[in-house]
Amino acid sequence: MASTTFFIILASLSLSLAAAAAAVTYPITKDTAKTRLYYTTLQVGTPPSSISLTLTLASQFTWFDCETKNNAYNSTSYNPVRCSTKACDDAGGAGCLGCTNGPPKPGCTNDTCALGAYNPFNDFIASAGMYTDILRVPSTAAKTVVSAFPFACAYGLNGLPKMSRGMLGLAMTKISFQAQVSSALKLPNIFALCLPSTGTGKLLVGGGPYSFSTGDLVETPIVINPNSTAAMYFVGEPSDEYFLGVKSIKVAGVAVALNSTLLTFDKDGYGGTKLSTIDPHTVLHSGIYKPIVNAFTAAARGMKMKRAANYGYFKVCYAASSVANDRHGRIVPIIDLVLQNVSTYWRMYGSDLMVRVSNDVLCLGIVESSEKNPRTAIVVGGRQMENRLVEFDLVVSKLRFSQPLIRRSTSCSH
């Protein structure tokens, strides 16, 4: 009798342990030396190749350089996706590729669905063959393999971290990384980013609860831009990037007067606010940047912060010695992106806003768009997403985010 009870307790204990943490966790590294982009490593093919890829919320699919010369992706289990198939249409296939420099290998096959693989850093679209192959997933779920993971064999790695051989597509599509992993592993279509400032952060697929403490999450709907913001699209397609409904912006608690037309989409989908892991810092339309910076510098003067010379594209810098700090970071005027109501906002503290550019100088890590009429008015960049949990729930189309983890004396690399 006693041994039966013991057995039951053990069984339920292991069940609850299995359910306790996000099923899939990939470590994320930031290329702090150069590009300030974030990457992780997938295990693709047979034998498994380790392929490091730059995270992007903007790419509809994953693409990489399939050439074997450096870091071999020399798989025997790949399959080309054929032209004029449903899989090709569903992926947004645009044309058909062949290859005359046989023998066949990934990136050189006939009758292969062509996808447009976009590198934002040289603004180049490669016509890239679509393939599927085995993806091995670091998972505590019962299944750990995606048997037909879709990707494209592209080329042109300009601007990516040296380690990275392509881009991991996290947009809101059926062939995105998270959609494929969650569907194959029978997990909810939810993923979360905990981007590191240094060390190793996390890409989590399948939803919480999470193994680290995040505090309460703020929830806001994912807003759909009716016009695609992809590099290549069919007219009439909505965007599959992640937009937020920012209604107003406060600096030091006071709403800033700005042209609020920019916060909404015009008839061609210009305007609005999105999240981006490929912009190292938040980029604002000049019609928003100017009033925000005026409000920030005025409030900073009130705090006796002393201006220092510009640094690169940072135009608002301060002598570090004039900026107070506490255990949560620098104390500067806070900036709130106010969302669906006044009690729902994305609050940026000194730990999010200030970038140390030298021993003596800190700059506001928000920059003015170089374009006169940028596609998106507010692009929240990597630095402002770091060290907090940002969860993308594609089941109910909601975004949830934590306060900066430093306010709980931790970070994404703990």
Ligand X SMILES: *[C@@H]1O[C@H](CO)[C@@H](O)[C@H](O)[C@H]1NC(C)=O
Footprint on this chain of ligand X (rule: CB under 6 A): 68, 72, 74, 98-100, 102, 104, 108-110, 219, 226-227, 235-236, 259, 261-262, 268-269, 287, 340-341, 343-344
Q: Does an H or E element contain 385, and which?
A: helix 382-385
DSSP 8-state secondary structure symbol assigned to residue 405: G
Sheet holding 361-364, edge to edge: 307-308, 317-319, 361-364, 354-356
- Nearest CA among 279, 274, 218, 284 for reference residue 245: 274
Nearer to ligand X, 110 or 325 (CB): 110
Give the residue with the Cβ less far from ligand X, 24 or 152: 152
Residue 261 Cβ vs ligand X, minimum distance, rounded to whole Å: 4
**In the complex with ligand X, which residue's Cβ is closer, 109 or 139?**
109
Number of alpha helices (DSSP H) and beta strands (DSSP E) in the chain: 6, 30
Measured from the CB of residue 373, what is the shortest distance to ligand X in angstroms?
7
CB closer to ligand X, 198 vs 373? 373
Give the CA distances from residue 215 to residues 195, 402, 410, in Å, rounded to whole numbers and listed in that order. 17, 7, 11
Min. distance of Cβ 285 from ligand X in angstroms?
A: 8
Q: Nearest approach, Cβ of 220 to ligand X (angstroms)?
A: 7
Nearer to ligand X, 32 or 74 (CB): 74
Integer Cα distance of 135 and 43 in angstroms: 6
Torsion-angle region of 92 (φ positive above 0: left; ψ -120 to 50: alpha; else: beta): left
Residue of 108, 90, 91 lying closest to 99 (CA atoms): 108
DSSP helix/strand/coil, 1: coil
Cβ 271 to ligand X shortest distance, Å: 7
Q: Closest distance between ligand X and the C-beta of residue 332, in Å?
A: 26
User: Toward ligand X, which CB reaches closer, 37 or 337?
Assistant: 337
Residue that is written with structure tokens 């903007």 in the block: 58
Considering the complex, what minimum distance in angstroms separates the CB of residue 68 from ligand X? 4
Q: Give the nearest distance from C-beta 103 to ligand X in angstroms.
A: 6
Q: For the CB of residue 98, give the shortest distance to ligand X in the complex, in Å.
A: 5
Q: Between residues 196 and 269, which has the closer beta carbon with respect to ligand X?
A: 269
Sign of CA dihedral 204, 208, 209, 213: positive
Distance CA 92, CA 105 (A): 23
Q: Pick from 112, 40, 342, 91: which is nearest to 232 by CA?
A: 91
Measured from the CB of residue 31, what is the shortest distance to ligand X in angstroms? 27
CB-nearer residue toward ligand X: 108 or 275? 108
236 versus 253: smaller Cβ distance to ligand X: 236
Nearer Cβ to ligand X (322/340): 340
Q: Report the amino acid identity of residue 245.
A: G
Q: Which of 341, 350, 352, 330 is nearest to 402 (CA)?
A: 352
Q: Is the dihedral of CA 84, 115, 373, 399 positive or negative?
A: positive
- Between 31 and 219, whose beta carbon lies closer to ligand X? 219
For residue 386, the SS3 value is: coil
Provide, rounded to whole angstroms, the least separation between the CB of residue 28 and ligand X. 28
Paired tokens of 337:
């992106």
Task: Locate the DSSP E strands across 22-137.
Answer: 24-30, 38-44, 49-56, 63-65, 79-80, 96-97, 112-119, 124-136
